[in-house]
């Protein structure tokens, strides 16, 4: 545990507040470790070792993609954009950024799925048109969210 009153301490393993919590977390931790061990056993015994390198690259790739690309982009964009927009716009813009990130993942899947299409019933839609529609929905959603937040603020200002 860190010293009381210190700020900026992250990932501190906290103390259990009650006996129930202590028992619960012990059970969760034990069950969790057991499931991880079972997963590792299944992987080692059923996945041919020739497939491990590719799987491990993908396993590491996800966390690298997040920690080295997605998170820095989100932080920098957040730091640059959010202080410069009115407060009611911020949740909608945050949501928009989140949706944009997810849409980027889907864009990769849609374009790749359409490029590697093995039969006409896989990704039957025009992927670019589909992405344009989704992007339009996203923009409308952000505008509606911001409009709603601004209106809510006006209402609460009138009430006060």
Partner 1 sequence: MSRTGGRAEDADGPAGAAATSRPGALARLRPPAPEEFRSAVHDPRVTARVGLFLGIAFLLVFVTGLVSHFLQNPLPWLPVLTTPVWGYRLTQGVHVATGIACIPLLVAKLYTVYPALFERPPVRGVVHALERASIALLVAASMFQLLTGLFNTFQWYPWQFGFVGVHYATAWVVVGSLLLHVGVKLPIIVTALRARVVDGEIADGAPLSPGRITDGTLHSVPDGDLAPVPAGRDPEAAATRRGFLAAVAVTVVGLTALTVGQTVRPLAAVSVLSPRDPRVGPQGLPINKTAAEAHVTETAVDPAWRLELEGPAGTRSLSRDDLLAMPQHEAVLPIACVEGWSASARWQGVRVRDLVALVTDDASSGGGASGPATARDLSVVSLQEVGSYGRSVLPAEHVAHGDTLLALRLEGEDLDVDHGFPARIIAPNRPGVLQTKWVARMSVVQA
Between 117 and 154, whose beta carbon lies closer to partner 1?
117
Q: Does residue number 19 form part of the binding site for partner 1 (CB under 8 A)?
A: no
Q: Does residue number 150 form part of the binding site for partner 1 (CB under 8 A)?
A: no
Q: Does residue number 118 form part of the binding site for partner 1 (CB under 8 A)?
A: yes
A 10 A CB-CB count for 29 gives: 10
Q: List the one residue from 69, 73, 133, 139 that touches partner 1 (CB under 8 A).
A: 133
Q: Does residue number 104 form part of the binding site for partner 1 (CB under 8 A)?
A: no
The dihedrals phi and psi of 107, each to the nearest 5 degrees, come to -60, -45
Q: List the one residue from 19, 119, 158, 159 that touches partner 1 (CB under 8 A).
A: 119
* Helix 89-115 / helix 127-159 crossing angle, nearest 10 deg: 170
Q: Does residue number 157 form part of the binding site for partner 1 (CB under 8 A)?
A: no
Closest distance to partner 1 from the beta carbon of 60 (Å): 7
Q: List the one residue from 69, 73, 137, 139 that touches partner 1 (CB under 8 A).
A: 137
C-alpha span between 91 and 79 (Å, rounded): 14
Rounded to whole angstroms, what are the CA distances from 155 to 86, 133, 143, 158, 160?
A: 16, 33, 18, 5, 9
CB 89 within 8 A of CB 149: yes
Q: Does residue number 158 form part of the binding site for partner 1 (CB under 8 A)?
A: no
């Amino acid at each position: 545990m860190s010293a009381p009153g210190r700020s900026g301490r992250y990932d501190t393993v906290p103390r259990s507040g009650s006996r129930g919590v202590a028992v619960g977390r012990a059970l969760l931790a034990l069950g969790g470790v057991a499931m991880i061990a079972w997963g590792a056993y299944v992987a080692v015994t059923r996945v041919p070792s020739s497939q491990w390198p590719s799987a491990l690259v993908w396993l590491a790739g996800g966390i690298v993609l997040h920690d080295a690309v997605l998170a820095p982009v989100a932080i920098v964009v957040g730091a640059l954009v959010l202080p410069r927009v009115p407060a009611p716009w911020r949740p909608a813009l945050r949501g928009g950024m989140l949706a944009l990130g997810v849409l980027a993942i889907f864009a990769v899947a849609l374009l790749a799925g359409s490029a590697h299409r093995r039969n006409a019933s896989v990704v039957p839609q025009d992927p670019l048109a589909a992405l344009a529609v989704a992007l339009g929905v996203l923009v409308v959603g952000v505008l509606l969210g911001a409009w709603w937040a601004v209106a809510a603020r006006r209402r609460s200002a009138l009430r006060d």
